[in-house]
Structure 1
C-alpha cells in the first residue's frame, strides 16, 4: 500500500519524458508531411524519398549502437541534454538542405544529424524510467511517455502544413526544431537522479526501490558514473540482448513505415495532400494513444495474478501481437472509403505502441540499471536496420508498381509485412528467453 504522504515527483520526470518524446516525433515527421510538396519542388521519385528516409533509419540504427553506451557513461542528465541539442540542430538544418547542390544529399545530411541526436531519446528515457519507477510500474510509465510519439504524430499534420502554407516549408523545420531548446531548460532544472533529488521524499524513494525491499536486498543507490563499470562487449554475451534486438528489428520498421509513408499512401490512393490529410492522420494517431497507455497498463493484470513482471509482460505481448493482423483487411475495405484505412491502420499502430511500451520494459526486467541505456541502444540499432530495409525496400516497391499502374499492390504487400511482424517477433523472443533470468553484470 502506498504511503499517502509519499511525494509523486517521479510523474513530473515522466512528464518531461513525455514532452521530449513528443518533440522527437514532431521533428521526425515534418519531412513526411512535406513530402508531396518537396517531391514536386525537387523532382523526387518515391525511390529518392525512400533513400532520404532510409539514410535516417540507417544513421539512427548505427547511432543507437553507441548512444545508449554514451548515456550510460555520461549519466542520464548530461546524456539526454546533449541528445536533444543535437537533434534540434539537425531538425533546423533541413531548412537549408536545398542550398546543397543535390537536394537528396542535403536532406540526407540533415536527416543524419537528426538521427544521431534522436538516437539518444529512448535509451535515456528508458534508463530514467528504471531509475524512477519499480518494475511493476515501468510499462505504464513507458506507455505514458511513449504516448508522446502519438501526440507528436497528431500535432504534426495539424501544425506543419499550416506553417508551410503560411510562411514556407523552411519555417516548418525551423519552428518545430527550436522547441527542443525550450524543453532543455526544464530538463536541466528539474532532473536529478533520485538519490540526489530533494523533491523525492523518503517514502517515494523506498517505493521506487520496492523491488529490492520485497526481495530483502539492500537498496542499490544509483550513481551517475555507474555505466563505466562494465564493458560494451559484455552485452552481446546474453540471449536476452539478442531477444530484445530481434523484437525491435522486426517491429520498429512498421511504426516508421506508418510515420513516413502514410501521407504518401493517402496521396497515392485518394489524392489527399497538405491540410486535407491533417484530420484523418490526426484521428489515426489520436486512437494510438489508447494503445500506448492501455498497453503499458495491460501487463499489470497478469502481474496481479501472480506472474513475475517478465512473464506477465510476455503474455500481454502475445495478445497484443494478434491485433495488427486486422491490417490485412486494409486493401479490401479501403476501396470503399479512406476511413476504413484510417480505422484499420489505427488499430495496427495502436497495437504497435502497446507492444513498444512493453518490449522496452523487458530490458529493465532482465538487466541492471547501469546497462539499460546500452541494451536499449543495441535494440534500437537493430530496429533502425529493420526500418531502413522496410523504408528503402518500400520506396523501390512503390516505384515498381507505380510504373505498371498498380501502386495499390505495392501498399498491399507492405501491409502484409506490417500485420505479421509481431507474431514472428514474439515467437523468436520467447524461444530465446523462455523464462526470466535477471542478469548481474
Structure 2
C-alpha cells in the first residue's frame, strides 16, 4: 500500500496511552515510596498530605494553562515540551531532604504533568470520529491505571536494590525516552503520510463540524460561562477526590490500617489499578453498546455509563464493614473499576460538547475544578484520618461520585447534531 498503514489512528492512540502510563507512573511513585521515604525523612502523615497537596494545587492551577497552550501550539509540540519537563521534575525529587523540598519538587511535577489528560483528549479528538471516540478515550485512559499498576512493583524493586531516591530517577528517565518517541512518531492526521486516504476520509466524515479543520474557537471566558462547562466542571470537582485518594493513599492505607509490609504492598497495591484498566476499556465499549441495544442517543449513552460507574463506587464506601484485608482490597478494586468507567464517560462527554480548538482548554479548566476538589479533600483527609480513620472518608467519596452523576443528568446538553453512524463505503478499509 505504498507505505500506508491500516488502522493508523489506533497506533496513534497507543502512543498517547504510553505517554499517560509514564505520566501516572511519575505521580504514583511518591505514594509507593511513601512508607520508606517518610521514615527516612522523618515525615508525619500531616506533612505527607502537604506534599500531596502541593502536587494537586499546582496541577489544578496549571490545567487550564496547559490546555490553552496545547490549543495554541498544537498537540505534538505542546505534549513534547510538557513531557520532558515532567520527566526532569520527577527525577529531581531524588534530591529532597525533607517534606518542604519534596513538596517543591512535587509541585513542579504537578505544573508539568497538567498537560497529560488535555493532550490525550485533544489527540483522540483529532484522530477519531464521534462513533469511536469513547472507545479511543477508554483505551487512552487505560494509561492512567497501567501507570498506577506498574508503580508498586517498579518502585519497590528500586527501593530494595538502590533506595527510594532511585525510583524517581528511573521513572524520570523512562519519561525522557517516551518524549523522544513522541517527537519522532506523532503527527496530526493531515500531516501523517502513512495514513491511507480511506482512513483519513473515514475519520473526517465521522467528525462533527466543530471538530473539522477551520472550526471556530470560543474564547475561554465564553467556555466558562456556558452551562455545558459547569455540567462537566462540577462533576469533576466531586469525582476527582476518589481517584486522587486511590493514587496517593492506598499503599499507606495498606501499611497503617491493614498492617501489610512492603512486599505485601508490592503484591497487592496494583490490583485496584488493574481493575481500573478494565473499567477504562469496558467503559469505552459500554457507550456504543448502550446506544445500540437500548436505543438511546450516543450522547445519552455516555450519561448512562457514568451513572453505572458512580453507583459501583458504593462498594469502597463499605470498606469499613469488612475485617479481612483481602476483602478490603477487593472493594478497592471495584472502586478503581468504577471511577475509571465514570471518568472515561465524562471525558467522552467533554469531547462531544466542545470543538477541537476548545476541547483541550475546556478539559484543562474542568480538570482544574477536579483537582481543586481533590486538594480540599486531601487537606481534610490528612487531618481527619488520624481522628476518624479511613472508612468514613471512603463513604464520603462514594456519595460525591453519585452526586456527580446527578449533576451531569441535570445540566449537560448535547451541543448539536452528530454525523451519521453509517460508514461510507469508500472508508470501509479504514476500519481494519
Aligned to 1:135, which of 123, 130, 133?
130
Aligned to 1:360: 347
Query: What do residues 296-338 of structure 1 show as CA deviations (whole Å, max 9, x unaligned)?
Result: 11011122244332211112211221111112221111x1x21
Shift of 1:283: 2.4
Q: Quote the Cα distance in structure 2 between the aligned partners of 1:49 and 1:112.
A: 13
Q: Quote the Cα distance in structure 1 between the aligned partners of 2:105 and 2:211.
A: 44
User: Is 1:392 the equivalent of 2:379?
Assistant: yes
**Conservation of the 8 A alpha-carbon contact between 2:224 and 2:230:** yes
User: Is 1:54 the equivalent of 2:46?
Assistant: no
Aligned to 1:405: none
Aligned to 1:289, which of 262, 277, 281?
277
**Conservation of the 8 A alpha-carbon contact between 1:61 and 1:385:** yes
Query: What do residues 338-392 of structure 1 show as CA deviations (whole Å, max 9, x unaligned)?
Result: 1101111110111101111110111111111110000000011011101111111
**Conservation of the 8 A alpha-carbon contact between 1:33 and 1:157:** yes
Contiguous gaps of at least 5 residues in structure 1 = 402-408
Superposition map of 1:1-400 within 5 A: 7-98=6-97, 103-212=98-207, 220-221=212-213, 229-305=217-293, 306-333=295-322, 335=323, 337-399=324-386
**Conservation of the 8 A alpha-carbon contact between 1:86 and 1:116:** no
Q: Quote the Cα distance in structure 1 between the aligned partners of 2:210 and 2:104.
A: 48
Query: What do residues 150-188 of structure 1 show as CA deviations (whole Å, max 9, x unaligned)?
Result: 111111100101101211111110011111111112111
Shift of 1:247: 1.1
**Conservation of the 8 A alpha-carbon contact between 1:14 and 1:145:** yes
**Conservation of the 8 A alpha-carbon contact between 1:162 and 1:275:** no
**Conservation of the 8 A alpha-carbon contact between 1:244 and 1:363:** yes
SS at match of 1:196: coil
Query: What do residues 62-115 of structure 1 show as CA deviations (whole Å, max 9, x unaligned)?
Result: 0002110110011001111111011111101101121xxxx1220111111111
Q: Aligned residue pairs: how many?
A: 413
- 234-243 vs 120-129, greater mean Cα deviation: 234-243
TM-score, scaled relative to structure 2? 0.92
* CA 1:219–1:66: 2 relative to 1, 3 Å: closer
Q: Quote the Cα distance in structure 1 between the aligned partners of 2:380 and 2:210.
A: 51
* CA 1:270–1:191: 2 relative to 1, 3 Å: same
Q: Runs of 4 or more off by more than 6 Å in structure 1?
A: none
Contiguous gaps of at least 5 residues in structure 2 = 418-432
Aligned to 1:415: 394
Q: Quote the Cα distance in structure 1 between the aligned partners of 2:405 and 2:272.
A: 25
**Conservation of the 8 A alpha-carbon contact between 2:6 and 2:196:** yes
**Conservation of the 8 A alpha-carbon contact between 1:236 and 1:242:** yes
User: Is 1:437 the equivalent of 2:415?
Assistant: yes
Q: Quote the Cα distance in structure 1 between the aligned partners of 2:130 and 2:261.
A: 44
Query: What do residues 177-210 of structure 1 show as CA deviations (whole Å, max 9, x unaligned)?
Result: 1111111121111111111111111111121123
Q: Quote the Cα distance in structure 2 between the aligned partners of 1:318 and 1:26.
A: 28
**Conservation of the 8 A alpha-carbon contact between 2:238 and 2:401:** yes
Q: Quote the Cα distance in structure 1 between the aligned partners of 2:145 and 2:219.
A: 35
**Conservation of the 8 A alpha-carbon contact between 2:272 and 2:329:** yes
Q: Quote the Cα distance in structure 2 between the aligned partners of 1:410 and 1:133.
A: 45
**Conservation of the 8 A alpha-carbon contact between 2:5 and 2:194:** no
Shift of 1:6: 8.1
Q: Quote the Cα distance in structure 2 between the aligned partners of 1:273 and 1:33.
A: 12
CA RMSD of aligned residues (A): 1.8
**Conservation of the 8 A alpha-carbon contact between 1:365 and 1:438:** no
- 323-332 vs 255-264, greater mean Cα deviation: 323-332
**Conservation of the 8 A alpha-carbon contact between 2:32 and 2:152:** yes
**Conservation of the 8 A alpha-carbon contact between 2:211 and 2:356:** no
